[in-house]
Amino acid sequence: MASENLVNSKSVVPIAETVIVNSRNILTRIQKSIALAFNRHLIYWIVPIVILVAWQVAAQMGWILVRILPPPLTIVKAAFKLIASGELLTDIVISTGRALSGLLVGGSIGFLLGMSNGLFKLSEKLLDTTVQMVRTIPNLALLPLVILWFGIGDSARLFLVSFGVFFPIYINTFHGIRSVDPDLIEMGQVYGLSRWQLFREVIFPGALPSILVGVRLSLGIMWLTLIVAETIAVESGIGYLAATAREFIRADVLMFVVVLYAILGKLSDAVTRLLEKRLLKWQRQYRSSAATN
């Protein structure tokens, strides 16, 4: 009987060791997963969270004037009220439509003109100097003239946003076309590519990274211009929401509008970064960045 117990105890020891080893491996994998998730996502939110907590504590301790700078929880409550009323969603849709319309108009003109001046020397000589002179004019300085030309309707806002987004896309498209390696163009000509094939297979892919940089810059200018453009006698949109809050001295709503513009700008930038990863996955630097992320 004693020998049987000894044999059983000896057979139990390897099983226990296996269980311990497996448990350690599982814990190691969990720790690695947590560390990876922290490095990929959570680390970016440490500073914002600390700022929000300090802001809330300072408001509760009376270190800041709540009437002028309401705490985060008050802003969140105001946001929920706007969401529940349905007013916020309507204003976001209207403002986004105005912004994207301006981006489409101004971006298309900037892209086509940048392509034309980048590909054809004659077009550059005729148009680039004029475009560069107009570029030095601040788009918001045109506000009185725009009201005189287009009135206070959506046409004025469309012009301001289009004018603002035009130049980053134009400059980066022009720069991208001119920055394509001449050796690649010569190689394509040696292989007998037609002009359209040369543009499609060599020139446009080589200029695409610069063009997407222009799109990212234009998205930021798009929202900045829209903020000012929606102060022109609007009756809807995020700007109207801010103007109404200013009249009734609603600092919580005003702060929420500021945060909302920041969120919309961040979402726009994230969409552009996603486009870069999809459209430029053939480039080594984007493949390596996608692998590390």
Task: List CB contacts of 184: < 8 A, sequence separation 6 or more.
Answer: 202, 206
CA dihedral 73, 77, 80, 86 (to 10 degrees): -140
Contacts of 132-141 with C-beta under 8 Å, sequence gap 24+, read 135/167, 135/171, 139/163, 139/164, 139/225, 140/225, 140/228
- Specify the pLDDT at position 34: 64
- Interval 223-243: pLDDT, tens: 888 888 877 767 778 888 888
- Interval 90-128: pLDDT, tens: 888 888 888 899 999 999 999 999 999 888 888 888 888
| Confidence grade of residue 2 (pLDDT, cut at 50, 70, 90) | very low
Report the C-alpha gap between 96 and 265 in whole angstroms.
Answer: 11
- Interval 65-99: pLDDT, tens: 778 888 888 888 888 888 888 878 888 888 888 88
- Interval 159-198: pLDDT, tens: 888 998 999 999 999 998 888 888 877 787 777 777 888 8
Report the C-alpha gap between 93 and 237 in whole angstroms.
Answer: 8
Report the C-alpha gap between 148 and 153 in whole angstroms.
Answer: 11
C-alpha torsion sign, points 119, 123, 125, 130:
negative
| Angle made by CA atoms 62, 66, 68, in degrees to the nearest 5 | 130
- Specify the pLDDT at position 66: 78
| Confidence grade of residue 132 (pLDDT, cut at 50, 70, 90) | confident
CB 110 within 8 A of CB 165: yes
**pLDDT of 3 over the 80 cut:** no
CA distances from 49 to 43, 142, 191 (A): 10, 39, 57
| Confidence grade of residue 6 (pLDDT, cut at 50, 70, 90) | very low
**pLDDT of 7 over the 50 cut:** no
